[in-house]
Every structure is written in structure tokens, then in C-alpha cells.
Amino acid sequence: MTGGPGILIVEDEAPIRQFLRISLEAHGFEVREARLGADGLAACQERAPDLVILDLGLPDMDGMRFISKLREWSDLPIIVLSVRAAENEKVQALDLGANDYVTKPFGVSELLARVRVLLRNRDESFPEIAAFEHGGLLADFKTREVTVDGTPVHLTRKEYDLLHLLITHPGQVLTHEQIIRQVWGAAFTEETHYLRVLMRQLRNKLGEQATSPRFIVTVQGVGYRFDVSG
């Protein structure tokens, strides 16, 4: 055991647990495993890990219930493992409080990137940071000024709110509902076209290429992610 950040894997498939453990330990994480949801919750209570990797299809309990239960007393980051073609499931998990998801089958590098982003986001607390900078985008939180490659960009209040929300969760997927709730308020969660139109305006102002965006990535049917991988 290395004494690095602790990760709890809740997954019933032994081969997947095996390759996750080997890969994560090789990257300096301290890994614990649970085959069942109940075991996973017990392990969290006994000694809280720094992050949970949760398979949604557990034999003893619905993954959604696991998330709800854990969120009753803990806000430790959760990454969900989900199957493709089930956008609803991902959105539901995210809206319940999961922090991100990876679609099975996945490469380890993808999972590691998500793990790192979440652990970093947890360590940094954004209100104390005066500015955000990534890949040519600079946002000053005090003056609300934004520049792209040194050129000032004038954003409306809502556009700035949207950008601010995304860059304060860098690399993390935010569902449509989460974004609308923050930018417009809970009464507007059905009005996804507001978000689409606003997103198009914001991207235009940031000078995004339509089909290969630099900053904001669309996660089809789920939400948006501020890309910090590049």
C-alpha cells in the first residue's frame, strides 16, 4: 500500500476489478474493492476513501440507490461506470449526485483522466482563486473579464454565468438540468432550448470551431464538459 489517494471500487465483475486495481495501484492510488453495494457503503463508513468508482449494475442494489444513500452523509466524488446507449441512466446518476461517468467498455487512460480531474477539483476551491486560465482562455473572476488568445470577449451576464459554471468544474460533465438550474433557476429545467441557444452564442463569442471545439465539449444527450485534456 502506497499511502496515496484512496479509491474504492464497487463492481461485481472480477476481471474489471482486477484491471482497475492493477492500473490504479500502478499510478500510486491505494485501492480497496467491494463486490456488492452494501459492502461498498460499509467500506465508505468504516474509512472514507478519496473517491468511489461505482458500477451501476450491481447484483444486490441499484446503483442509483447506492448514490442516494452515500449522498445522505458524504459528498466524496463518485465516478459511475455505465453502458452505452443508456443516456437516461447517466443523466439520472449525475443528477442524483454522481460527479462523472465512464462508458463501458473504456480505456484506463480515460478513467484515470476523470479520476485526476475530480481529485484536483476537490483540492482546489474555486472561490479563492482570482482567475482561471486554460488553453488560451483567461477568465478573471473579480472583474468578470474574459479573453481568448489575448483578445477580449464581451459576454452577456448569462453567457458569463454559463462559462463560469463550466470552468469552475473543469473536465467534469454537467447535465443540462444542473446547468439550467444554476443559470436560470429550478423553474426552467424543462427549457433545454434556452441552454442550446445560449451555448451557441457563447461558443461563437469564444471563437469555437463548430465541429472541433477547443473549450466546451458536448456530451450527447447528457450535458457539457469544459475540456481540460488538450
Partner 1 sequence: MPAAQNNMNFLTRARHQDRRSQAGPRGAYAWALTTAAATTGIAFLAHQLLPHANLSLLYLTGVLIVSARYGLRPGLLASIVSFILFNFLFTPPFYSLSVQDDGDVATLVFFLVMAAITGNLAARMHREMDARRASFDRTHQLLEFSRLMSSATNTGQIADALAKDLAARLHCPVAVLLKRDGQLDRQAWSGGRFEVSQAEIESIWAREGQDCNAVGERTVLPLASPAGRLGLVILDTGGRGRSQADLDMARSLCDQAAIALDRTLLEATLEEARIERETEQLRSALLSSLSHDLRTPLASVIGSTSSLLDYGGSFAEADRRELLATTLQEARRLDRYIQNLLDMTRLGQGKLSLAREWVDLHDILASAMGRVDRPERVRVVTRIQADVPLLWVHGALIEQALVNLLDNAIRFSPADGEITISAACRNDALTLEVCDEGIGIPDSDKERVFDMFFTARHGDRSQMQGTGLGLAICRGMIGAHGGTISAHDGPGGRGTCMRITLPLRREPATEAI
Residue (129 or 197) nearer to partner 1, CB: 197
Confirm if 41 and 62 have CB atoms less than 8 A apart.
Answer: no
* Cα–Cα separations (whole angstroms), residue 81 to 22, 98, 191: 17, 11, 28
DSSP category for residue 188: G
Which residues partner with 139 through β-bridges?
Answer: 132, 146
User: Would you say 26 or 42 has its CB closer to partner 1?
Assistant: 26
Instruction: Write out the binding residues for partner 1, residues 188-217 only, by CB under 8 A.
Output: 188, 191-194, 196-201, 203, 210-213, 217
Regarding 221 and contact with partner 1 (CB under 8 A), the answer is yes
Place of cell 476513501: 49
DSSP β-ladder status, 6-10 and 30-34: parallel
CB of 81 to partner 1, least distance (A): 15
Among 218, 226, 229, 230, binds partner 1 (CB under 8 A): 218
- Minimum Å distance from CB 141 to partner 1? 22
By CB under 8 A, tell whether 112 contacts partner 1: no
Residues 152-171 that bind partner 1 (CB under 8 A): 156, 158
The separation between CA 150 and the C-alpha centre of its own chain, rounded to angstroms, equals: 28
Cα 193–chain centre separation: 22
Range 67-96, binding partner 1 (CB under 8 A): 84-85, 87-88
The H-or-E segment that residue 51 falls in is strand 51-55
> Which residues contact partner 1 (rule: CB under 8 A)?
84-85, 87-88, 105, 107, 156, 158, 176, 184, 188, 191-194, 196-201, 203, 210-213, 217-221
